[in-house]
Each structure stands twice: as structure tokens, then as C-alpha cells.
């Protein structure tokens, strides 16, 4: 009787006692409950298609970019709950841009929160604010396994009169990298996932800043479509020819990988490559100009 009671308590605190868990990232492209300036409210068709994608993945932990205010996040949570996908734990972080924010939804308890809402930096003698905040949370998957999740949405490639967009993005990347280094400084083997829309490609200066060097360098999981591609890289210094794009820019008719799931050395030990992918589903563009990415991990230290 006592044992059943204890098991019940544990199941209540940690709803998924499975051997693995999944972490996903998704830019929802203006998930707003009402129009704001030039940004339209998300259509019902777009909302439904987003739910379709998330129901196909069923991530245990979900990082979101371009979500509106807490009301929009609450509507998404309620709609997913009605479809059978419930996230009792959540974090919503606002930044300098009050229109679109970042958020985290989790089936597991969030045991610590470190929201970064006023990140700023000097560039050419002028003070700039990071447009979006950074969400940083510690998540307890079970009684013996925790990890830190940090998600962000860095400056877009849209040109602005104040400064060069690439320089702005690099400065934001430097601030974001600092959050990772602060976590690893206290514990080099800490389980850390850095993910989100970083708005740049793999070989860009901002991505190199985020990945870092040496023992604290992060590992790029490089999610790809599950389409059967198995060809090796054409050269040792090149990536394998797999379909990894996450963002479609209609004006230029281009496809690029700007959404990432990066792992610390400690977290990479639990990473399962076979459960890591870009979701390819019909009419994905109704949902967003981005596609969701997901990675799978063992729920125990290795």
C-alpha cells in the first residue's frame, strides 16, 4: 500500500517515467491573438496546422519563438490540451519587443527560472537592446535527471537603419553564449540545451560564437528529414547531404537552416541521433515559415 502511494506521488510529479524524452523548437511566425501593427493575428487554419505538427511530434518539452503575450500562449496550451497534449508547466519571457516573445512548454516540472528580459550591449558607442528576451529554465525530467534549457530568437536578417543586422545578431549571440558559459563554469558537465531561431547559417560568425570552442563547445545535433537519405559527406570537412532546412523565405525562394538544437558535452552523452529530425508534413507553410525540429534523449546520466 505504501509503495503504491509513493509511486503515485512520483508519477504525479514526473508524468513521464519513460526511458527517453523529446525536446523540440518551433518558430510559430506571429502567433498573435490580435493584430499588432503590421503583424496579423494568427489564422485559425494556421493554429490548426501548428497543432497538427505538434501532435505528430508530441514533444515533452517545447521551446517557442514568435509567440504573442501570455493570452496567446494560454490559448495554445488550452487548444493542445483539448487535442490530448497537455503542458502543465510553462515559462513566458518578454523582451524589448513587446509584440513577439519566447516561451517554454513542459510536461515536466520547471524547478528553476532565470528569465533574461533586459539584455543590452554597446556597439560603436551606442547602447542597443536585444529585441527578444532569453528563456532559461531548469527542468526535472525525473527524480535523478535534470537539464537546463535556454531558448532565444536572435535578430533577423532584415536590415535596419540603426546598425548592420549581422553585427547586431553577433552581439546578441555573444550575450546568449554568456548564459551558457555561466552555467558550464559552475559545472563543466552540466546538461544544457541551447535551442531556437538563431537566424543565421552554420558557418556564420554568430553561430560560431554560440557553438564556442574547446571543452565548453556545443554539439550541433543537425536535425534532418526522415526521408531515407544515408549518403556520407562529400568531403571530411562537409556535412552529409541531408534535408535540414528549417526556414523558407518566400521573397527570395530560398530554404535555409536557421533553427538549432545545440548541446553541452554533458547533454550530448544522452542524445539519441535516431530520434532527432526536422518534421516534414503536408502544407507545413500554413502553420509557419519555419518547420519544427526535435531531438530525443535518454532520461538518465551517462
Closest CA to 15 of 95, 86, 69: 86
289 touches 248 (CB < 8 A): yes
According to the model, what pLDDT value does residue 13 have?
54
Q: Is the pTM of this model over 0.85?
A: yes
Helices (H) and strands (E) in the chain, counts: 6, 16
According to the model, what pLDDT value does residue 10 have?
46
- Interhelix angle 44-57/70-82, nearest 10 degrees: 60
The DSSP letter of residue 284 is G
Residue 108 lies in a domain: yes
According to the model, what pLDDT value does residue 6 have?
38
3 has pLDDT over 50: no
Residue 173's domain is classified under what CATH number? 3.60.10.10
Q: Which residue did the predictor score with more confidence, 8 or 125?
A: 125
SS3 category, 56: helix
According to the model, what pLDDT value does residue 2 have?
46
80 touches 54 (CB < 8 A): yes
pLDDT in tens, 222-280: 999 999 999 999 998 899 999 999 999 999 999 999 999 999 999 999 999 999 999 99
Phi, psi of 138 (to 5 degrees): -105, 130
Helix, strand, coil % over all residues of the chain, rounded to 5: 25, 30, 40
pLDDT in tens, 42-100: 999 999 999 999 999 999 999 999 999 999 999 999 999 999 999 999 999 999 998 99
According to the model, what pLDDT value does residue 37 have?
86
Residue 231 lies in a domain: no
**How many angstroms separate the CA atoms of 100 and 158, rounded?**
16
261 touches 23 (CB < 8 A): yes
Which residue stretches of the chain are H helix?
Answer: 2-13, 44-57, 70-82, 165-186, 205-211, 265-268
Q: Which residue did the predictor score with more confidence, 4 or 237?
A: 237
Residue 237 lies in a domain: no
Residue 27 lies in a domain: yes
Listed in order, strand segments (DSSP E) in 143-267 are: 145-153, 192-197, 219-220, 247-249, 254-256, 259-263
Domain total in the chain: 1
Q: What percent of the chain is modeled with pLDDT above 70? A: 95
Residue 2 lies in a domain: no
Residue 1 lies in a domain: no
Range of the domain at 53: 18-226+246-298
Amino acid at each position: 500500500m505504501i509503495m503504491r502511494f509513493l509511486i503515485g506521488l512520483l508519477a504525479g510529479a514526473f508524468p513521464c517515467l519513460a526511458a527517453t524524452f523529446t525536446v523540440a523548437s518551433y518558430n510559430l511566425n506571429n502567433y498573435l491573438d490580435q493584430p499588432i501593427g503590421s503583424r496579423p493575428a494568427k489564422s485559425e487554419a494556421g493554429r490548426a496546422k501548428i497543432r497538427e505538427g505538434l501532435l505528430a511530434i508530441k514533444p515533452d518539452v517545447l521551446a517557442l519563438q514568435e509567440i504573442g503575450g501570455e493570452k496567446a500562449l494560454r490559448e495554445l496550451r488550452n487548444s493542445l490540451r483539448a487535442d490530448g497534449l497537455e503542458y502543465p508547466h510553462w515559462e513566458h519571457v518578454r523582451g524589448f519587443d513587446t509584440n513577439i516573445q519566447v516561451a517554454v512548454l513542459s510536461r515536466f516540472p520547471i524547478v528553476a527560472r532565470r528569465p533574461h528580459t533586459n539584455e543590452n550591449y554597446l556597439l560603436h558607442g551606442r547602447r542597443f537592446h536585444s529585441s527578444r528576451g532569453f528563456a532559461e529554465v531548469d527542468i526535472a525530467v525525473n527524480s535523478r535527471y535534470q537539464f537546463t534549457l535556454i531558448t532565444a530568437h536572435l535578430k533577423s536578417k532584415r536590415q535596419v537603419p540603426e546598425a548592420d543586422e549581422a553585427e547586431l545578431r553577433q552581439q546578441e549571440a555573444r550575450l546568449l553564449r554568456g548564459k551558457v558559459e555561466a552555467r558550464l563554469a559552475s559545472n563543466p558537465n552540466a546538461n544544457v540545451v541551447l535551442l531556437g531561431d538563431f537566424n543565421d547559417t552554420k558557418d556564420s560568425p554568430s553561430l560560431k560564437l554560440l557553438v564556442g570552442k574547446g571543452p565548453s563547445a556545443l554539439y550541433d545535433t543537425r536535425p534532418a528529414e526522415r526521408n531515407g537519405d544515408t549518403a556520407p559527406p562529400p568531403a571530411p570537412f562537409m556535412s552529409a547531404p541531408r534535408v535540414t532546412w528549417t526556414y523558407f523565405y518566400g521573397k527570395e525562394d530560398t530554404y535555409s537552416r536557421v533553427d538549432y538544437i545545440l548541446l553541452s558535452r554533458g547533454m550530448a552523452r544522452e542524445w539519441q541521433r535516431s530520434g532527432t529530425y526536422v518534421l516534414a508534413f503536408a502544407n507545413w507553410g500554413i502553420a509557419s515559415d519555419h518547420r519544427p525540429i526535435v531531438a530525443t534523449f535518454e532520461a538518465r546520466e551517462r
